[in-house]
Chains A and B, each alone.
Chain A
Amino acid sequence: MNRVFQRLTIFSFFLFISCWCFPNTVQAGQTANVDAGVQLEYAGSLYAGEDFLMAAGEYKRFMFLFPDHTRVEEAAYRVGLCYLSAGLSARAIQSFKECLRTYPDGRYADQAQLRMSEGYLRSNQTGAAITSLQNLAIITDDVEIRDEAFYRMGWTYIGMAQWEQAQMVFAKMSQEGRHTYRLEELSRALDEEPKMNRKSPGLAGTLAVLPGAGYLYCGRYQDALIAFLVNGGLIWAAYESFSNELYALGSVITFVEIGFYAGNIYGSVASAHKYNRKNERQWIEHLRKRLKVNLASRPENRGVELSLRYAF
């Protein structure tokens, strides 16, 4: 019994010594030593896996844990990029603004400005997008960045069907940039624009004096027939009412008819505008597919990634 007690005492002693000598963490198992590189790598892997919001969180964690690290600006820029890729344009714009405010002359300032304009475009703020690109084109010393800003600005104008503005902006690009972005072909295509099939809203409205003729001009044959029948019927009914001395009824029918007659003119003008807009959009889409150089925004790619499409 005494011997057992003695062995227990020795065992307890060694147990105490071992616990005292080695820290608890070692007893618990493996530890993860997260340094700045690993943290950034993890955030990058999340972005590559298209888990953009998690990636944004990890970039923010990096900024919090390593505020004095040399790559904090890059992390701040990539937070915006993550939001942009996640489709959260407003948050992306905010992040890029924050990045530009903190690092106005930083390495990523130009890229942040470019992406911010992309965010504006995605949220349909074309005016703000153009302003942002104009500012960048004035501020930057990098010819490639300036060319990209002009290129994006030109396409923004194309999206707004402002062909001449687009041509003027493209003309500001460097010779090398014009070659890289295949501007000769694009300029030729933009010169073809007047040949695009268009309907004159003025002519449509004038023709609509005869109910239905305006719709007919715009290729809306069913609408033309309905406009002609409804207006014709109402005019006839009003005429019959007045000729039968039913003045109150005639007035009501005339009031209704004035609305439908004006509606027929309004609809004809609107139809011409809609026809032109639809054609413009189809043409822009065709141009985009055929000639637009894709500008990649993956964080692992530095600079511009060009991909060209040729229509055979």
Chain B
Amino acid sequence: MKLKRPRIITILGLFIIAIAYSPGFGDETTIGPEIPEEDTGPMAFALKFFSKTVSRADGRRCMMYPSCSHYSGQAFKKHGFIKGWVMTCDRLLRCGHDEIHISEQIIVGNQTYIFDPVQRNDFWWSRP
């Protein structure tokens, strides 16, 4: 039993590293709409912390527009915690893969991004 604990910690550690270095979690606060200041929920706090602290340290790596953290903030704001959380997970799974070949490109500054806002993922059940 004692031998198994380090294995779990290794798996978890690898998972956290994979998530942290997945294309979706790179971010930059200067691009895309900011997470609204009036949001005071725990998720908004976590996203603000991520945008202002983690993202500034490791730079933007997300190739989607809006970036995954902004997308997440918008999804939480628009649909509440449960749907926002599900949409965030969906976006993290899709970020930087097949969406590149499906969605249109958008140029922001000198960079090209894949345009994938919340309304392109909830149009089939939510009115703007």
Instruction: Give the B-binding residues of A (Cβ under 8 A).
Output: 201, 215, 219-223, 226-227, 230, 233-234, 236-237, 240-241, 243-244, 246, 249, 253, 259-260, 262-264, 266-267, 269-270, 273-274, 277-278
Cβ of B87 and Cβ of A266 under 8 Å apart? yes
B46 at the interface (CB under 8 A from A): no
Question: Which of B1, B11, B85, B93 has the most chain A CB atoms closer than 10 A to its own CB?
Answer: B93
CB-defined contacts of B88 to chain A, threshold 8 Å? 259, 263
Total inter-chain residue pairs, C-beta < 8 Å: 80
Cβ of A263 and Cβ of B97 under 8 Å apart? no
- Tell which of A241, A260, A264, A273 touches B123, judged by Cβ atoms closer than 8 Å: A273
Instruction: Give the A-binding residues of B (Cβ under 8 A).
Output: 1, 4-5, 7-8, 11-12, 15, 85-94, 97-99, 102, 120-124
CB-defined contacts of A241 to chain B, threshold 8 Å? 8
- Tell which of A227, A234, A240, A259 touches B86, judged by Cβ atoms closer than 8 Å: A259
Q: For residue B84, which residue of chain A has the nearest CB?
A: A259
User: Looking at chain A's contact residues, is the secondary structure mostly helix, strand, loop, or mixed?
Assistant: helix
Q: For residue A267, which residue of chain B has the nearest CB?
A: B90
Q: A222-B98, A223-B97 are in contact. Are A270 and B8 (CB under 8 A)?
A: no
Question: Which of B87, B98, B102, B120 has the most chain A CB atoms closer than 10 A to its own CB?
Answer: B98
Q: A240-B11, A274-B102 are in contact. Are A263 and B4 (CB under 8 A)?
A: no
CB-defined contacts of B4 to chain A, threshold 8 Å? 240, 243-244
Q: How far is the CB of B98 from chain A (nearest CB, A)?
A: 4
